[in-house]
């Protein structure tokens, strides 16, 4: 059973790379969205274990998303992604899920 | 009372891709050790060697301050901002990835390996405008002292980054004891030995050993002739 991960990142090129890298792990299944409203729609329509917030959002947008998730999907874990590629991705996911 | 953490060179993670040999002080790529995630804002300390003519193809980065320090050979960098540059020993390169960029880096020389440190520091602000810079430094004219190569202040010595961090390098040709005061309360210092033997906080360090120290405002370093070290001061809270 794969861990379902939603990635949200404004930069669509980087988003594609992150989703591809996550899906290279057979235990993880990632979907990507490039806006917060689209991410919320995806969260309401599907079950995810982890929301990974990538680049391109203001601090208040990130906080607003975190507040929304905490109020509506309290079991969903949230992690901020740094680095934009393979370097930190696995550790961020392992840490968020541990 | 000062706290310390010691990372001996042979306890680092490693990756051997043939053309790339890398040692990871902290979890990186396929190396994951929950006890070795970061030292405060210092998230990546990779000790890389790339074969002649080889390198990392186009790949993205965002929201990270990425610093490269050349140790041997020539490292060529090209990025989506239009920068094309080479760094060699005596030079430091910085890239604020911010909202995102692509770059590639490869060994400029076909017949010699390039050795360099790649260091990632968490930014104190996400989604900044991406930027690139590089600068030379001169250790030989300042032997037996700490030479600042990075700070948060663009008017200060060295390159600057989006973080309250200061980096210094030192090269010793005589036995020397130095005291170094931290720039900011709440910061810690990570010392990485590039060559030789160094003693810090009662710990004897050899080549490629790392030592983190925090909850202190000053440290004492005893170096032996031939030693070289990198001192990184970073915030302990990110």
Q: What confidence tens digit (pLDDT) does each residue in A3-56 have?
A: 999 999 999 999 999 999 999 999 999 999 999 999 999 999 999 999 999 999
B127: left (phi over 0), alpha (psi -120 to 50) or beta: left
User: Comparing C-alpha atoms, which of B17, B11, B30, B68 is closest to residue B208?
Assistant: B11
Dist. CA B27–CA B47, nearest whole Å: 13
Residues of A in contact with B32 (CB under 8 A): 90-91, 94
- The predicted model scores a pTM of 0.96
Q: What confidence tens digit (pLDDT) does each residue in B142-194 have?
A: 999 999 999 999 999 999 999 999 999 999 999 999 999 999 999 999 999 99
- Please state the domain extents for chain A: 1-6+27-73
Whether residue B206 lies inside any domain: the answer is: yes
Whether residue B20 lies inside any domain: the answer is: yes
B48 shares its domain with B99? yes
DSSP letter string, B170-226: EE-SS-EEEEEE-SSTTEEEEEEEEES-EEETTEEE-TT-EEEEES-SEEEEEE-TT
Asked if residue B214 has pLDDT above 90, the reply is yes
How is residue B237 written in tokens? 């809270």
pLDDT of residue A86: 84
Dist. CA A25–CA A16, nearest whole Å: 15
Best mutation target, A7, A8, A24, A88, to test chain B (most B CBs within 10 A): A88
B145 shares its domain with B121? no
The reply to whether B204 sits in an annotated binding site is: no
- Interface residue B61 vs chain A (CB under 8 A): yes
User: How close A64 comes to chain B (CA, Å)?
Assistant: 16
B191 shares its domain with B126? no
B24 shares its domain with B125? yes
Q: How many CA atoms lie within 13 A of B121 on its CB side?
A: 28
CB contact (8 A) between residue A83 and residue B30: no
B181 shares its domain with B129? no
- Interface residue B167 vs chain A (CB under 8 A): no
B122 shares its domain with B41? yes
B150 shares its domain with B196? yes
Whether residue B30 lies inside any domain: the answer is: yes
Nearest residue in B to A59, CA atom: B126
Q: How many CA atoms lie within 13 A of B97 on its CB side?
A: 28
pLDDT of residue A1: 80
Q: Which of A55, A90, A91 sits opposite B126 (nearest CB)?
A: A55
B150 shares its domain with B122? no
- Interface residue B63 vs chain A (CB under 8 A): yes
Asked if residue A62 has pLDDT above 90, the reply is yes
Higher pLDDT, B10 or A85: B10
B112 shares its domain with B210? no
Whether residue B3 lies inside any domain: the answer is: no
B109 shares its domain with B17? yes
Cβ-based neighbours of B101, under 8 Å, separated by 6 or more = B60, B61, B62, B79, B80, B81, B95, B130
Whether residue B85 lies inside any domain: the answer is: yes
CB contact (8 A) between residue B61 and residue A11: no
How many domains does chain B divide into?
A: 2
- Interface residue B62 vs chain A (CB under 8 A): yes
Whether residue B220 lies inside any domain: the answer is: yes
Choose the final residue of a domain: B106, B136, B166: B136
CB contact (8 A) between residue A55 and residue B27: no
Dist. CA B182–CA B234, nearest whole Å: 9
The reply to whether B59 sits in an annotated binding site is: yes
Q: What residues pair up with B75 in beta bridges, in sequence order?
A: B87, B107
Phi, psi of A44 (to 5 degrees): -75, -25
Size of interface A-B (CB pairs under 8 A): 77
Residues of B in contact with A94 (CB under 8 A): 32, 34
Torsion sign over Cα A12, B107, B234, B191: positive
Q: What confidence tens digit (pLDDT) does each residue in B7-38 have?
A: 999 999 999 999 999 999 999 999 999 999 99
Choose the final residue of a domain: B136, B162, B197: B136
pLDDT of residue A85: 83
Q: What confidence tens digit (pLDDT) does each residue in B38-66 have?
A: 999 999 999 999 999 999 999 999 999 99
User: Comparing C-alpha atoms, which of B181, B191, B203, B202 is closest to residue B228?
Assistant: B191
Q: What residues pair up with B5 in beta bridges, in sequence order?
A: B212
pLDDT of residue B203: 96
Specify the CATH number for the domain of residue B155. 2.60.120.10
The arithmetic mean of pLDDT across residues A76-95, rounded, is 94
Q: Is B32 helix (H, G, I), strand (E, B) or coil?
A: coil
Dist. CA A14–CA B185, nearest whole Å: 36
B90 shares its domain with B148? no
Domain limits at B212? Answer: 140-235
Residue B112 pLDDT level (bands cut at 50, 70, 90): very high
Torsion of CA B183, B195, B47, B2, to 10 degrees: -40
The reply to whether B103 sits in an annotated binding site is: yes
Task: Tell me if B42 sits within 8 A of B121, measured CB to CB.
Answer: yes
B98 shares its domain with B158? no
CB contact (8 A) between residue A10 and residue B60: no
């Amino acid at each position: 059973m794969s861990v379902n991960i939603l990635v949200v990142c404004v930069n669509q090129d980087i988003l594609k790379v992150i989703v591809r890298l996550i899906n290279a792990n057979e235990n993880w299944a990632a979907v990507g969205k490039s806006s917060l409203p689209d991410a919320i729609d995806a969260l309401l329509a599907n079950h995810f274990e982890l929301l990974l917030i990538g680049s391109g959002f203001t601090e208040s947008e990130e906080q607003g998303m975190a507040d929304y998730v905490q109020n509506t999907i309290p079991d969903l874990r949230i992690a901020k992604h740094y680095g934009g590629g393979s370097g930190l991705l696995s550790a961020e996911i392992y840490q968020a899920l541990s | 009372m000062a706290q310390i953490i010691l990372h001996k060179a042979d306890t680092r993670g490693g990756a051997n891709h043939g053309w790339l040999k890398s040692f990871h002080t902290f979890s990186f790529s396929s190396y994951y050790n929950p006890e070795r995630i970061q030292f405060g804002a210092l998230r990546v300390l990779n000790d890389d060697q790339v074969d002649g003519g080889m390198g990392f193809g186009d790949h993205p980065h965002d929201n990270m301050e990425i610093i490269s320090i050349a140790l041997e050979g020539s490292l060529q960098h090209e990025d989506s901002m239009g920068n094309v540059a080479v760094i060699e020993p005596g030079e430091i390169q910085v890239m604020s990835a911010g909202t995102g960029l692509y770059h590639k880096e490869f060994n400029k020389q076909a017949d010699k390996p390039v050795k360099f440190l790649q260091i990632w520091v968490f930014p104190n602000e996400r989604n900044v405008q991406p930027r690139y810079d590089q600068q030379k430094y001169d250790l030989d004219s300042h032997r037996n002292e700490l030479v600042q190569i990075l700070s948060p202040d663009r008017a200060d010595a060295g390159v600057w980054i989006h973080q309250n961090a200061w980096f210094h390098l030192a090269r010793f040709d005589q036995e020397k004891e130095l005291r170094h005061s931290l720039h900011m309360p709440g910061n810690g210092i990570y010392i990485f030995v590039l060559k030789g033997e160094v003693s810090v906080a009662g710990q004897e360090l050899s080549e490629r050993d790392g030592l983190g120290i925090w909850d202190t405002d000053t440290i004492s370093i005893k170096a032996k002739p031939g030693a070289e070290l990198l001192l990184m001061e970073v915030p302990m809270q990110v």
